[in-house]
Amino acid sequence: MRIFWADIRGRMAESMKESEHQMLFRREEIAARVAEIGAQISHDFAGESVLLVGVLKGAAVFLADLARSISVETTFDFVAISSYKGVKTTGAVRLIKDLDTPIGGRNVILVEDILDTGLTLVFLRKLLLQHKPKTLKIATCLDKPARRLEKIDADYVAFSIPNHFVVGYGMDYQERFRNLPDICILSSDEAM
Protein backbone atom coordinates (compact mmCIF):
# COMPACT_ATOMS: atom_id res chain seq x y z
CA MET A 1 0.00 0.00 0.00
CA ARG A 2 1.35 3.45 -0.88
CA ILE A 3 0.26 6.67 0.77
CA PHE A 4 0.90 9.81 -1.27
CA TRP A 5 1.61 13.21 0.23
CA ALA A 6 -1.48 14.71 -1.40
CA ASP A 7 -3.56 12.11 0.51
CA ILE A 8 -1.79 13.09 3.70
CA ARG A 9 -2.56 16.79 3.19
CA GLY A 10 -6.23 15.85 2.64
CA ARG A 11 -6.31 13.77 5.81
CA MET A 12 -4.75 16.62 7.80
CA ALA A 13 -7.41 19.07 6.64
CA GLU A 14 -10.15 16.55 7.49
CA SER A 15 -8.89 15.92 10.98
CA MET A 16 -8.16 19.50 12.05
CA LYS A 17 -11.31 19.63 14.16
CA GLU A 18 -10.95 16.18 15.71
CA SER A 19 -8.29 16.80 18.37
CA GLU A 20 -5.58 19.14 19.54
CA HIS A 21 -3.14 17.25 17.29
CA GLN A 22 -3.79 16.59 13.62
CA MET A 23 -4.44 12.94 12.94
CA LEU A 24 -2.08 11.50 10.35
CA PHE A 25 -2.62 7.72 10.58
CA ARG A 26 -5.40 6.04 12.52
CA ARG A 27 -4.73 2.93 14.61
CA GLU A 28 -6.60 0.73 12.12
CA GLU A 29 -4.42 1.73 9.17
CA ILE A 30 -1.27 1.44 11.28
CA ALA A 31 -2.32 -2.09 12.26
CA ALA A 32 -2.99 -2.97 8.62
CA ARG A 33 0.44 -1.73 7.48
CA VAL A 34 2.24 -3.44 10.37
CA ALA A 35 0.51 -6.71 9.45
CA GLU A 36 1.70 -6.30 5.84
CA ILE A 37 5.28 -5.70 6.95
CA GLY A 38 5.11 -8.67 9.34
CA ALA A 39 3.92 -10.88 6.47
CA GLN A 40 6.73 -9.57 4.25
CA ILE A 41 9.36 -10.31 6.92
CA SER A 42 7.88 -13.78 7.50
CA HIS A 43 8.14 -14.41 3.76
CA ASP A 44 11.69 -13.02 3.45
CA PHE A 45 12.95 -15.14 6.37
CA ALA A 46 10.85 -18.28 5.80
CA GLY A 47 12.46 -21.25 7.53
CA GLU A 48 14.82 -19.00 9.53
CA SER A 49 14.62 -16.96 12.73
CA VAL A 50 14.93 -13.20 13.23
CA LEU A 51 16.16 -11.00 16.06
CA LEU A 52 14.38 -7.65 16.27
CA VAL A 53 16.56 -4.91 17.80
CA GLY A 54 14.36 -2.01 18.87
CA VAL A 55 15.67 1.50 19.39
CA LEU A 56 14.31 2.74 22.73
CA LYS A 57 12.05 4.28 23.52
CA GLY A 58 10.22 5.32 20.38
CA ALA A 59 10.26 1.95 18.60
CA ALA A 60 8.85 -0.05 21.54
CA VAL A 61 5.21 0.15 20.44
CA PHE A 62 5.96 -0.55 16.77
CA LEU A 63 8.24 -3.47 17.73
CA ALA A 64 5.59 -4.97 20.01
CA ASP A 65 3.02 -4.98 17.20
CA LEU A 66 5.49 -6.02 14.50
CA ALA A 67 6.82 -8.96 16.55
CA ARG A 68 3.28 -10.30 16.94
CA SER A 69 2.65 -10.14 13.20
CA ILE A 70 5.76 -12.17 12.27
CA SER A 71 5.19 -15.90 11.95
CA VAL A 72 8.83 -17.12 11.90
CA GLU A 73 10.72 -17.60 15.19
CA THR A 74 11.34 -14.12 16.58
CA THR A 75 13.30 -12.85 19.56
CA PHE A 76 14.00 -9.26 20.55
CA ASP A 77 16.51 -6.99 22.18
CA PHE A 78 16.77 -3.22 22.63
CA VAL A 79 19.41 -0.54 22.34
CA ALA A 80 19.09 3.06 23.48
CA ILE A 81 20.75 6.13 22.09
CA SER A 82 20.47 9.81 22.84
CA SER A 83 20.15 12.35 20.07
CA TYR A 84 16.98 14.43 20.12
CA LYS A 85 16.16 17.39 22.32
CA GLY A 86 12.60 18.60 21.62
CA VAL A 87 11.85 19.11 17.93
CA LYS A 88 15.46 19.74 16.88
CA THR A 89 18.21 17.13 16.58
CA THR A 90 21.46 17.75 18.43
CA GLY A 91 23.25 15.92 15.62
CA ALA A 92 25.28 13.90 18.15
CA VAL A 93 24.36 10.24 18.64
CA ARG A 94 25.52 8.39 21.76
CA LEU A 95 24.87 4.79 22.87
CA ILE A 96 23.16 4.66 26.27
CA LYS A 97 22.16 0.98 26.34
CA ASP A 98 24.01 -1.75 24.43
CA LEU A 99 22.68 -5.13 23.21
CA ASP A 100 22.11 -7.90 25.77
CA THR A 101 22.19 -10.63 23.11
CA PRO A 102 25.05 -11.84 20.88
CA ILE A 103 24.02 -11.11 17.26
CA GLY A 104 26.87 -12.75 15.34
CA GLY A 105 25.55 -15.01 12.55
CA ARG A 106 21.92 -14.02 13.17
CA ASN A 107 19.26 -12.36 11.03
CA VAL A 108 18.96 -8.96 12.68
CA ILE A 109 16.26 -6.38 11.97
CA LEU A 110 16.88 -2.96 13.48
CA VAL A 111 13.49 -1.54 14.38
CA GLU A 112 13.14 2.25 14.53
CA ASP A 113 10.18 4.59 14.99
CA ILE A 114 11.30 7.27 12.51
CA LEU A 115 14.05 7.46 9.93
CA ASP A 116 14.67 11.19 9.80
CA THR A 117 18.17 12.63 9.16
CA GLY A 118 19.57 9.08 9.20
CA LEU A 119 22.24 9.90 11.81
CA THR A 120 20.88 7.39 14.34
CA LEU A 121 20.55 4.46 11.96
CA VAL A 122 23.91 5.07 10.29
CA PHE A 123 25.50 5.02 13.75
CA LEU A 124 23.62 1.87 14.83
CA ARG A 125 24.11 0.04 11.54
CA LYS A 126 27.88 0.54 11.81
CA LEU A 127 27.84 -0.63 15.42
CA LEU A 128 25.78 -3.77 14.72
CA LEU A 129 27.79 -4.71 11.62
CA GLN A 130 30.89 -4.91 13.83
CA HIS A 131 29.23 -7.96 15.48
CA LYS A 132 28.97 -9.69 12.08
CA PRO A 133 25.26 -10.61 11.87
CA LYS A 134 24.26 -12.98 9.06
CA THR A 135 21.94 -10.31 7.68
CA LEU A 136 21.06 -6.81 8.86
CA LYS A 137 17.83 -5.14 7.75
CA ILE A 138 16.09 -1.96 8.88
CA ALA A 139 12.38 -1.62 9.63
CA THR A 140 10.95 1.81 10.39
CA CYS A 141 7.42 2.88 11.16
CA LEU A 142 7.88 6.29 9.51
CA ASP A 143 10.32 7.60 6.92
CA LYS A 144 10.92 11.34 6.42
CA PRO A 145 13.11 11.27 3.28
CA ALA A 146 13.10 15.08 2.90
CA ARG A 147 15.17 15.47 6.09
CA ARG A 148 17.91 12.97 5.21
CA LEU A 149 21.51 14.02 5.90
CA GLU A 150 23.02 10.51 5.62
CA LYS A 151 22.71 8.03 2.77
CA ILE A 152 20.54 5.32 4.29
CA ASP A 153 17.24 3.66 3.41
CA ALA A 154 15.05 1.25 5.34
CA ASP A 155 14.16 -2.19 3.98
CA TYR A 156 10.68 -2.10 5.53
CA VAL A 157 8.74 1.19 5.82
CA ALA A 158 5.19 1.48 7.13
CA PHE A 159 4.60 5.07 5.94
CA SER A 160 6.64 7.73 4.17
CA ILE A 161 5.70 11.26 5.32
CA PRO A 162 6.62 14.89 4.64
CA ASN A 163 8.59 16.97 7.12
CA HIS A 164 6.24 17.17 10.12
CA PHE A 165 6.98 16.54 13.77
CA VAL A 166 4.77 13.65 14.80
CA VAL A 167 3.75 12.05 18.09
CA GLY A 168 1.88 8.94 19.20
CA TYR A 169 2.32 5.21 18.63
CA GLY A 170 5.54 5.37 20.70
CA MET A 171 6.78 8.71 19.35
CA ASP A 172 7.17 11.62 21.75
CA TYR A 173 7.63 15.31 22.19
CA GLN A 174 9.67 15.79 25.35
CA GLU A 175 8.57 12.29 26.53
CA ARG A 176 4.86 13.09 26.14
CA PHE A 177 2.25 11.57 23.82
CA ARG A 178 3.98 8.19 23.34
CA ASN A 179 0.77 6.49 24.46
CA LEU A 180 -1.50 8.01 21.80
CA PRO A 181 -2.78 5.06 19.76
CA ASP A 182 -2.81 7.04 16.48
CA ILE A 183 0.05 8.88 14.76
CA CYS A 184 -0.57 12.64 14.90
CA ILE A 185 1.16 15.85 13.89
CA LEU A 186 2.25 17.74 17.00
CA SER A 187 -0.01 20.64 17.77
CA SER A 188 1.78 23.97 17.27
CA ASP A 189 0.59 24.94 20.79
CA GLU A 190 2.82 22.19 22.23
CA ALA A 191 5.94 22.93 20.18
CA MET A 192 6.69 26.24 21.87
Active site residue 143: no
Q: Under the rule (CB under 6 A), what is the footprint of ligand IMP?
A: 55, 58, 83-84, 89, 112-120, 165-166, 171-172
Supply the minimum distance, in Å, between the C-beta of residue 49 and ligand IMP: 25
User: From the candidates 116, 143, 172, 182, which is the catalytic residue?
Assistant: 116
- If the CB atoms of residues 65 and 116 are measured against ligand IMP, the closer one turns out to be 116
Helix (H, G, I), strand (E, B) or coil at 11: helix
Neighbours of 53 (CB within 10 A): 27
Helix axes 27-44, 60-68, angle to 10 degrees: 60
Supply the minimum distance, in Å, between the C-beta of residue 97 and ligand IMP: 14
Distances from the Cα of 181 to the Cα of 1, 12, 125, 167, 169, angstroms: 21, 17, 29, 10, 5
Sign of the torsion angle spanned by Cα atoms 16, 19, 20, 25: negative
CA distance 131 to 186: 37
- If the CB atoms of residues 159 and 165 are measured against ligand IMP, the closer one turns out to be 165
Tell me the residue length of the chain.
192
Supply the minimum distance, in Å, between the C-beta of residue 24 and ligand IMP: 10
Residues marked active site are found at 116
